[in-house]
Structure 1
Amino acid sequence: MTERVFKILVIGDSTVGKTSFVQRYVNNSFTKDYKCTIGVDFSLKVIQRSENETIRLQLWDIAGQERFTSMTRVYYREAVGCVILFDITAPKTFYKVVDWKNDLDSKVTLASGKNLPCLLLANKCDLPIRPISVDEIERVSKERGFLRWSEISVKDDVGVTESMNYLAEAILADSEDTVRSSSDGNRGAFIHLRNQQGKKDPDEGGCCVFS
């Protein structure tokens, strides 16, 4: 029996639905009464990929308030994948996506030197308000190196599990590439944290349409 554990970050501005996203994915539940995350919350999703393979996803729901951004270097440590959420009805949360992605890419990479596989998710697609154009989201997704983007609804359970399955497969592919590299003599940790100078430290439009 093979068991793998992967740490996945869930980041984005406050009120975009990160905690609700995690609870929907892990427990298939939704409530409007979630309080703002203080620092970071942790959840675990177990996926039985086959009779002989179990995947455990550690989901780190990181607070979106600015006062916690100084701690992201610590929170990002050993992560191998990421989800960045924004509220499709609130442009200001979309504009901050670039800042979140830049922060992520500047602080952690895979051992191969590649950025962490990351999804861009536009939450609340169940609402009719659409102030952000699909073309603009598509542009940001491509320019910033996201795996893909999609509209989701945590409330109506649209696209949540599909998105996470896609991310998990991408992480597995990177993991297997790393194992093959290691067997060729390229040993090393699965991730590298970056220092303040950006150098490595030594030691997808409708609801649930994927691009």
Structure 2
Amino acid sequence: MKNEVGRVSSTMLSSDESVESSFHLGGGVMSGQVKDYFFKLLVIGDVCVGKTSFVDRYVYNKEFDSTYKTTIGVDFAIKSLKWSETERIRLQLWDLSGQERFSSLTRVYYRDAIGCLLFFDLSRAETFRTLGKWKKDLDLKVHLPSGRVVPCLLIANKCDLEDRAVSEEEIDAFCSKHGLIGWIETSVKNDQNISESIRTLLTSVLEEVKKEEEPLEREKRQRNTYISLNKEIAKHYREQTSAGCCSLGGDKAEIL
């Protein structure tokens, strides 16, 4: 599923997922007939935009709590889900504090991330105005192995509130200007578009990962073909030698 820049509709998405308990950080690995992907996702944005509540709802299915609790530095949560019959994704969600005093540590926290959820509060325009700063910091400090920026989905949180301070046109313009994969409205309070947000981001992340895997897979196939060819030549040479023929296309057989 490919999402164009702009608002993501929940009708475009499927939220069926199966939760498991194990987790290990790393890259794509084959386990039997199932390929395991290990992804670190960042959850960033200003204070009081609902990042921690979002993570708690998604990972632990916690009910909404209106009591605000400040994240000190960073928290992280883990979750594993069945993506398809042949793919399993194991997530580590890093919930970063929105406080300015922790900004100097973001390079450490961002390391090895492969996707990002960028949050703002629909009812507070000031949280929207700082998004450019967050995106710039992200793009400066973390990249995919190819050098491209990590896929980033904009989360317009608290859509259950009536007083909206940011228009859809402004959000569309921001996504286009800063190269986001799109945006989606969420409400942790009403459990609206929580899993759908993660699935939208993971779809884009998987597309990027598979693009980067293609050259490696081609190289692996070429290497296996080369090894197989050498084995066949060696086998043929041994058979010829045991039969009393000491040459293979010349005075001596050369094994590549």
Per-residue deviation at 1:41?
Answer: 0.3
What is the number of equivalent residue pairs in this alignment?
186
The one of 204, 214, 217 aligned to 1:183: 217
Per-residue deviation at 1:27?
Answer: 1.6
1:38 and 2:72 aligned: yes
Distance in 1 separating the partners of 2:107 and 2:216: 26
Equivalent position of 1:104 in the other structure:
138
1:14 and 2:47 aligned: yes
One-letter amino acid of the structure 2 residue matched with residue 17 of structure 1 = G
Task: Provide, for residues 69-127 of structure 1, a one-character-per-residue CA deviation record: whole Å limited to 9, x for no partner.
Answer: 00000000000000000000011100011100000001111122211000001100001
Q: Which portions of structure 1, spanning 4 or more consecutive aligned residues, are displaced by more than 3 angstroms?
A: none
| Partners of 1:21 and 1:154 within 8 A in 2 | yes
Structure 2 unaligned blocks of 5 or more: 1-33, 220-256
Distance in 2 separating the partners of 1:43 and 1:21: 11
Distance in 1 separating the partners of 2:147 and 2:215: 12
Equivalent position of 1:141 in the other structure:
175
More strand by share: 1
Comparing 78-87 with 129-138, greater Cα deviation is found at 129-138
Could you tell me the TM-score, scaled by structure 2's length?
0.70
| Partners of 1:80 and 1:171 within 8 A in 2 | yes
Per-residue deviation at 1:184?
Answer: 4.5
One-letter amino acid of the structure 2 residue matched with residue 21 of structure 1 = F
1:142-161 matches, cutoff 5 A: 142-161=176-195
Equivalent position of 1:171 in the other structure:
205
Distance in 2 separating the partners of 1:52 and 1:143: 36
The one of 146, 150, 158 aligned to 1:124: 158
The one of 92, 95, 98 aligned to 1:61: 95
Per-residue deviation at 1:34?
Answer: 4.6
One-letter amino acid of the structure 1 residue matched with residue 199 of structure 2 = N
The one of 113, 123, 131 aligned to 1:79: 113
- Residue 50 of structure 1: SS of its match in structure 2? coil
| Partners of 1:7 and 1:60 within 8 A in 2 | yes
| Partners of 1:20 and 1:34 within 8 A in 2 | no
Per-residue deviation at 1:67?
Answer: 0.3
Q: Identity across aligned pairs (percent)? A: 50
Q: Radius of gyration: which is bigger?
A: 2
Could you tell me the TM-score, scaled by structure 1's length?
0.84
One-letter amino acid of the structure 2 residue matched with residue 172 of structure 1 = L
How large is the Cα RMSD of the aligned pairs? 1.4
Distance in 1 separating the partners of 2:120 and 2:198: 16
More helix by share: 2
Task: Provide, for residues 25-63 of structure 1, a one-character-per-residue CA deviation record: whole Å limited to 9, x for no partner.
Answer: 112222223511000001012111234432111000000
